[in-house]
Amino acid sequence: MDSLTRDWNRLSLSEQEGNMFDFENKSVKPGSMLAAKFFTKRALSIEVVARTLRPLWKTKQEFRINDLGNHLILFTFEDELDAERILLGAPWSFDKYLVVLCRYETDQSLKELRFDTAEFWIQVHDIPARRMTVEAAEGICQTLGRVIHCSDDDETDGGEFMRVRVELDITKLLSRGRRVRFRLDSEGWVSFRYERLQYSATGVGG
């Protein structure tokens, strides 16, 4: 938005164009908005999207769908908790392709929204049993993206592996694993598995 303002300031505006409208104290649309980028190659049908996602999301209240073009859809939820729960349940897919969601609560234009990151649960395999701690697993995943700390043992303990929530840059190739060192003379390898990974037009694939 600031860049657009600078560009406008460079222009010579007519009297009508320079007569500024002020949004201050004006009402905003009710509801919580999530913008979504669908990485499918097919044309989107609002009816099909609604029919697919409603039973998956199981929202307590209704939500509205607006097609913004260019495979972008705006979801408006009556209940903020529904929107929050759907974000926490990501990643989602449609037609076997990734759907990236982001909150739309600022005064950004839709063109300024970015859909290059998505949150995934990542399984960290081959950690020795006595080394299987949340601290170690999160440290291992630091190179993948922004680690989202979880203190719930039921979420992080996968039995034979550890689970870590990470915000990934989906424009980059996925890491298969990472070298680790236990002592100066002892090294190893841990492997990554990405839960609910779907193919997309970006670097994320499965």
Predicted TM-score (pTM) of this structure: 0.76
pLDDT digits (tens, 9 = 90+) for 3-61: 656 665 666 777 777 777 766 776 667 689 999 999 988 899 999 999 999 999 999 99
Beta bridge partner(s), residue 93: 98
pLDDT digits (tens, 9 = 90+) for 119-153: 999 999 999 999 999 999 999 999 999 999 999 99
DSSP calls for 149-198? ----HHHHB-SSEEEEEEEEETTSPPP-EEEEEEETTEEEEEEEEETT--
pLDDT of residue 10: 61
Sign of the dihedral defined by the CA atoms of residues 193, 195, 198, 203, in that order: negative
Residue 206 pLDDT level (bands cut at 50, 70, 90):
very low
> Which amino acid is residue 57, in one-letter code?
W
